[in-house]
Amino acid sequence: MAAAGSAIGLGNIWRFPYICGKYGGGAAIILYLAFVFLIGMTLLLSELVIGRRTGSTPMKAFEIMRPQRKGWRYVGLLGLITSFLILAIYLVISGWTLNYFWESVTGTLSSIADGDFANHFATFAASPLMPVVCLVVFMVLTLVIILGGVQNGIEKVSKILMPILLVLVLLLCVRSLTLPGASKGLYYLFHPDFSLLTWEGVLAILGQALFSLSVGMGVMIVYGSYIPKGDGLFKSAMWITVCDTAIAILAGVAIFPAVFAFDQSPDGGPGLVFNVLPVVFNSMGNVGSIVFGGAFFLLLAVAALTSAISLLEALTAWGADYGKSRKRSAIILSIVLALVAVVASFSFDGGILNDNKLAGMSFFDWLDKLTGSYLPPICALLTIIFFGWFMKKDDIHDELSNHGVLKISWFKVFYHILVRFVAPAALIVSLVAGIFT
């Protein structure tokens, strides 16, 4: 449940729909499903095995499995750097959700006309003050929870809130599907338009599959180390993957019919959720917009918070490994993270730093690309090569079968085909094509 909580986050609701919108609807979904179940889940299972086998954090786990070749621990380090950058961009988006929560409950959003939400979002995200205030509040919340050591509390809270989020998303789907013209949205979401699916898109979709499952940065190694010895790892991995994918697709079903019913642009980029959903809430009347809108953005903020906590926790534990006290390590990291996030926020479309571009992309776009497309696949590739070619096969079999207790007839296919060939090949092809074409 905790790992599913980490996996389910802004990635499912904020990023997945806009990636589908950008790269050909059904074409993107088909590819996403293939990536998530063949490559994402293979990686998830590998990270869980490494974690439970070593009972350790990423950098140390690689050392324990391969003590004579210390270089492998840098894969763990790369994962930590990836986590840091993910958290930086996460802070910006999480801040937006806080703002939208606030504007929902105070009725600001319900006073905006349907056609004006895109403008409202653009003005808000580009302004120098509010987004920064929100992201700092969010960083402080995350830090306070880490310092208070109440992760367990938050874990329990999120177990209750995650199902509520699911119910709300389902309700939104119903509302969205009963809007006039909903079928157009469904058509757009599920009808495969392969002409929009570029190589860049393939890499973005692969990156999204990894990002969404929280793999390719070693975080699931940590979660693996918490899984009780008697549990079947395959079952856990399947459960996480199915839940995560279901929420992502439902988010798409909630959003696209509304996009078309209210004449919005389906490839609206990172602002999609914020432009479209308030329109749906407003169509539920004043009370509906305050109650549903408020609840939705609050839960989105909570989903983001639980993910942010686990990211900061991983980074803090690593800082503490290097002799800093947990407290100091958490505070220093938070300050640096907030600063990076502020720069990211300023560089978003229309912001004061948006004109400073590197290779045509702003700092925000770079962060989005690095954390969404590049770093997780690179880290995943190194991890899967380590797992498939450098770890002992017997160790892996032993861990997956719980020392021979579970029958794992799928092991041969998993290890000899998926781990050793399909996953590395798909990662290499997507990376090379995505970067160089």
> Which residues lie near ligand TRP (CB under 6 A)?
6-7, 9-12, 86, 211-212, 214, 217, 219, 307, 310-311
Closest distance of CB 222 from ligand TRP, Å: 9
Of residues 284, 297, 356, 341, the one with CA closest to residue 132: 341
CB of 203 to ligand TRP, least distance (A): 17
Q: Which residue, 81 or 126, has its beta carbon nearer to ligand TRP?
A: 81
Q: Alpha-carbon distance 252 to 186, whole Å? A: 9
Q: State how far the Cα of 310 lies from the Cα of 223, in Å rounded to an integer.
A: 10
Structure tokens that stand for 378 in this block: 């690179």
Residue appearing with tokens 């094509």:
433
CA 209/CA 155 separation, integer angstroms: 24
Rounded to 5 degrees, what are φ and ψ at 361? Answer: -120, 145
* Cβ 403 to ligand TRP shortest distance, Å: 29
Find the shortest distance in angstroms from Cβ 413 to ligand TRP: 26
Quote the tokens at residue 374.
């590049």
How far apart, in whole angstroms, are the C-alpha atoms of residue 272 and residue 222? 32
CB of 274 to ligand TRP, least distance (A): 16
- Compare residues 217 and 396 and give the one whose CB is closer to ligand TRP: 217
Q: CA-to-CA distance for 432 and 306, rounded, in angstroms?
A: 33
Of 109 and 205, nearer to ligand TRP (C-beta) is 205
SS3 call for 211:
helix
Residue with smaller CB distance to ligand TRP, 139 or 261 = 139
C-alpha neighbours within 13 Å on the C-beta side of residue 139: 25
Shortest distance, CB of residue 354 to ligand TRP, whole angstroms? 24
CA distance 3 to 156: 13
Q: Which is nearer to ligand TRP, 78 or 396 (CB)?
A: 78
- The token pair at 353 is 């730093």
Distance CA 287, CA 61 (A): 52
The CB-of-353 to ligand TRP minimum distance in angstroms stands at 25
Distant-in-sequence, close-in-space partners of 265: CB < 8 Å, separation ≥ 6: 118, 259
CB 131 within 8 A of CB 320: no
Task: Indicate the residue among 85 and 186 with the shorter CB distance to ligand TRP.
Answer: 85
User: Minimum Å distance from CB 396 to ligand TRP?
Assistant: 23
Nearer to ligand TRP, 262 or 274 (CB): 274
Residue 403 burial by CB count (10 A; 0-12/13-18/19+): exposed, middle or buried?
exposed
* Separation between Cα atoms, residue 383 and residue 392, nearest integer Å: 14
- What CA–CA distance (Å, rounded) separates 269 from 253? 17
Can you read off the two tokens belonging to residue 314? Answer: 């991983």
> Residue 84 to residues 98, 180, 251, 269, 336: CA-CA distances in angstroms?
21, 43, 26, 23, 10
Choice between 15 and 120, CB closer to ligand TRP: 15
Cβ at position 195, least distance to ligand TRP in Å: 28
> CB 109 → ligand TRP: shortest distance, Å?
23
Q: Please give the radius of gyration of the chain, using alpha carbons only, rounded to the nearest integer.
A: 21
4 or 182: whose CB is closer to ligand TRP? 4
Q: Give me the least distance between CB of 303 and ligand TRP, in Å please.
A: 7
Contacts of residue 435, Cβ cutoff 8 Å, sequence gap at least 6:
203, 374
How many angstroms separate the CA atoms of 347 and 89, rounded? 11
Task: Tell me whether residue 182 or residue 302 sits nearer to ligand TRP (CB atom).
Answer: 302
